[in-house]
Structures are given as C-alpha cells and as structure tokens.
Structure 1
Amino acid sequence: MNTVKPMAVVTGASSGIGRELARRFADEGFDLLVCAEDEGLAAVAEELRGRGAAVREVRVDLATYDGVEKLYAAVSATRRPVAAAALNAGIGQGGAFLDTDLADEARVIDLNIASTVHLAKRLLPGMVELAEGRMLITSSVAAAVPGSHQAVYNASKAFLQSFAQGLRDELKDSGVTVTSLLPGPTDTNFFHRADMADTRLGRMRKDDPAQVAGEAFEAMMRGREKVVAGSVRTKVQGVANKVLPDRLKAAAHRRLAEPHPDGADRPAH
C-alpha cells in the first residue's frame, strides 16, 4: 500500500451503500481495507484498484467475535493509521416477531450492534492517540420508528443512533468525530435478504445508494453529527419522525412492512 495516502476501512463493502462509500473513498485519494462476508468482495476490490487505490480485502463474517478480531488483525497488519472508518455492515429481518426464528433475530443483533461496538472499540483508540480521524456509523431513519413487523431491526438502528451520539460527545475534544448516517429505503439487496420483497416497503421506489453514500461521505469528512441522506422523501420522513407520536409511526410501519403478496406485482410509490 502507498503509505502517503490516508487509509479508510469500510465494512459491508461488497454491495449497496458500502460499495458506494468505498468507491467514493477511492476517488478521493484513500487507500482501502474493505470487508464483507460474500464472494462479491473480490470484484469490488479489483474495481477499486482500477480507481487508483491500494486495496486489502478481508472476507469474514462480522456477526461473529472472531470475524471482527480477524478484521482488526488485518488492519493492524498494515501498520498504518486509520484515517476514516465506515462501520456500515448490517442486515434486517422482516416478519412478525412471534413468527421469525430466534437465530435470525440474534444475527441481526450480532451484526448490527455487537460487531459495530466491537470494531469501534478496536479502532477508536488508535484514532484518539493520533488526535485525528473520522468514523461513520450507519443507522437508519427507522431508528426513530417502532418497527412493527421489523421490531429487532429498527431497535438495532435505534441503538446505533444512540451509540454514535454518545461516542461523539465523549470524543468531542479528541480530534476524532463520529457521524451517524440515517438513510431511508435504498436500492440494495437489503429487502430481499430480509424476506421483505412482498411488502409495500420492499416494493416502494428506493433511493440511489450512490447519492446516499455521497452525502454520507461529505458529512463524515466535515465532522457533522448526523446526516439524513437520500431523496427529498427520506429527508421529509426524517423531519416527520421528530414530531409524530410513536403509536402512529408504529401503525404506519406495520402497513409498510407486513406482507402483501397479492399486490407484489404492483409498484408502490
């Protein structure tokens, strides 16, 4: 790796928002250490090299303790400071809580919450020691919405939002900033993996992941507290979430997240 360039770590980098964040880092002159669990990571890493970045790819399952430790060992092996880290890996699980498998819900917690806390614990001391660094934590506009038919996922994003804000305050005099990213429904494979393709939420028009990542990158590099990124609709939702009562938000979420297979062939707007 070219030690003149700053280095960024991006998790969940094989697709969606993570891939777009990695592309933006490469285009802005960063070298990269990218992580995901699937085989698509190799192609992304090769593309990033074509954009001029030196890239180390780490294929591990961050939903496990050992996976996070292996990622951090790879970071340490570069012997380079981490200038920026986008903790973006995450999954969802749709369905009524009493109908979903415990193992599936536990994996949401392990990846979205446990791995983010674990990796932040490993990366932040080095940043603080150098008194500089940027960290992005991917939450969601769902963080402010009680998640009927997506209860564990929405709760995990509420945790991440609170976690990011707490870290930001603790580090306010350290030279290190923490920014939370709150995207809305984005055009990724999230809804298919979460078994939500037959829901109104799964079928509605999605935001462009490149736009979301671009706004996230700018907010992180400017050291902003948080960014509701994406379309005007998503930004309006972010404002509405501040004023609507929880019972109304939960009821609205149910209508969007419960299955509607009979209407699966009709687009939602």
Structure 2
Amino acid sequence: MEKNNIKTALVTGAASGLGLELALLLAKDEYDLILIDIESKKLQDAKSHILNTHQTNISVLVKDLSVINIAQEIYDEIDASKIDVIVNNAGFGLFGTFYDTDWDRELQMLHLHILTTTHLIKLILPEMVKRQSGKILNLSSLAAFQPGPMMALYYASKAYMLSFSQAISNELKGTGVSVTVLCPGPTKTAFQGVVSEGVNDNKIGFNMASAKDVAAYGYKAMHNGRVVAIPGNFNKFLSVLPRMLTRNRTTKIVRKIQDKNRAS
C-alpha cells in the first residue's frame, strides 16, 4: 500500500515518564502521534505539553491496556497501515512476596506486559512487513536478566519481553522492520510510586536515572536498529553478571538489594 510522507508513531503509557519523553522526541522528528494511556487528564496534559513546543497531529486514546483483547479494540480504531513506529512503554510493578500479593492486580500486569503488548505487535506488524518499513521499541528492564524475589512476576514478564523482542528481531532481518528492546535500570518515573503501593517504606533509589536520559538513549538505539539497549555502563555490567555467577547466587543478590531498598 502506498503511503504519504507523514510519519506516525503509536506510544502506550504516554501520559508521563518515559512514554511522554519518547513522544516528545518523536514529535521533534515530525511524527504524528497516537498517544494511549489509562489516565485521561494526564493524557490531555501530555498532548498540550507536546503541542506547546512541537507542531504535529496528536490523537489520544484513553484505554486500560490491562484488559484482555484491548489490543484488538485499539487496532480497530486506528489505521495500522500508517503506523511507522510502535513504542510499547506502558507498565507497572508490584512489590511483595508472591504468596501475599493481590492476584487480580498481578493478572492486570501480566495482561498489560505480555498479552496486550504481544497482541498489538501481532496486529500491526504485518502492515510494516508489507511496506518493508517500521520500527518497534519495547520497554523491558534490567530486571529481565535475572529472577527477582519480591517482584517475581514483574521480573518474569520483563524477561519475556526481552526474549520475545530478540526472537522477532531475528525473524525480521531483511524485512526493513527493526525491533529494539530497551532495558533500563531504576528510572525516575511514576512507576516507582506504583511499585510502592501499600509498602510505605519501599523507596527504590539505587542507581536511579532520569526519564529524559533513558528515553534519549532508547530512541537513538531504536533509530540505529540496535536490538538490546541498556543505558549506563553500570547497568551493562549488571546485565552480564548472571553469566558470571550462578542464577541462584544472582537471585540471592537481588533479594538483598530489594530488602535494602525496602528498609531505606
């Protein structure tokens, strides 16, 4: 299908944090934007913020991405043939022992991190391959590289996103479509507040980076066609640590860090 010169990017979790910073970078590069988030007021504020500095067309979709089959609903409301970039940023975490955390909330997290993200790519990717052009940026985490006691399902879901992204990136070689998975360490976003729900003393402050810096790193990596992007030399070191130690040992180290952060 022929496509005009207008570039369009879809960004989930776009109301704040990394999603907003990535949307600003896309707007600066003259992409039209489809911004998706569950928070209507913050999403409108994000739109206004972007338009204060960049001239672009912005559509907003208020969607709960933790709902099953929401990807199909989104797909039915957009023109997939016009999507040049997909940024799968939306996500949240839960802190606590698996036997004591809330299953309904964990189910929402798994739907969001795994099912919605995967389904959205599944629906839009064929159009990109058909055009032989497109970029996908998936947000994983440094958590993807080892098990994570006290955030077991969050770490596991991010490991899924890392593995999935690397696999389809390999499949897409020669198609003109690239997949980048961004794996930041702790980042100053609203995510930290969500992780700390119900845990008043849990403040994750170790090795904290700014959302703006992480977004810029991931954005550059996406445009350069890198597959795995890990911002920060210390984070790169931590990502390979499980290769040098046993998984049992790295799991114990993560637990000690989690306990330390909770007590700080």
Q: TM-score, normalised by structure 1?
A: 0.89
The answer to whether the 8 A contact 1:199-1:259 is kept is: no
Secondary structure (helix, strand or coil) at the match of 1:203 reads coil
Give the alignment of 1:44-59 within 5 angstroms: 44-50=46-52, 51-59=54-62
Is 1:42 equivalent to 2:38 in the alignment?
no
Aligned equivalents of 1:138, 1:34: Cα separation in 2? 16
Q: Which amino acid aligns with 1:143?
A: A
Tell me the C-alpha RMSD between the 2 structures: 1.8
Shifted more, 22-31 versus 59-68: the winner is 59-68
* Contact 2:205 2:261 (8 Å CA) reproduced: no
Instruction: Answer yes or no: is the 8 Å Cα contact 1:26–1:53 preserved in 2.
Output: yes
CA shift digits 1:17-75 (9 cap, x unpaired): 11111011011111111101013111101222221121001110011134322322232
Q: Which amino acid aligns with 2:71?
A: V
CA distance in 2, matches of 1:224, 1:178: 8
The equivalent residue for 1:193 is 194
1:134 aligns with 2:135: yes
Structure 2 CA distance for aligned equivalents of residues 252 and 259 of structure 1: 11
Q: Which residue does 1:99 correspond to in 2?
A: 100
Mean CA deviation greater in 210-219 or 44-53: 44-53
Unaligned runs of 5+ in 1: 265-269
- Listed one character per residue, the Cα deviations across residues 69-117 of structure 1 (whole Å, up to 9, x for unaligned) are 23222322xx752111111111111101111011121111111001111
**Deviation >3 Å, runs of 4+:** 258-261
SS of residue paired to 2:76 = helix
Checking the alignment, whether the CA contact within 8 Å between 1:197 and 1:203 is kept in structure 2 is no
Q: 1:67 is matched with which residue: 67, 70, 75? A: 70
1:222 aligns with one of 221, 224, 227: 224
- Distance, in Å, in 1 between the alignment partners of 2:172 and 2:222 is 15
Aligned-partner SS, 1:177? strand
Distance apart, 1:197 and its partner CA: 5.9
Q: Which residue of 1 aligns with 2:208?
A: 206
Aligned to 1:267: none
Which segments of 5 or more consecutive residues in structure 2 lack a partner in the other structure? none
1:199/1:256 contact within 8 Å kept: no
Partners of 1:111 and 1:117 lie apart in 2 by: 9
Q: TM-score, normalised by structure 2?
A: 0.91
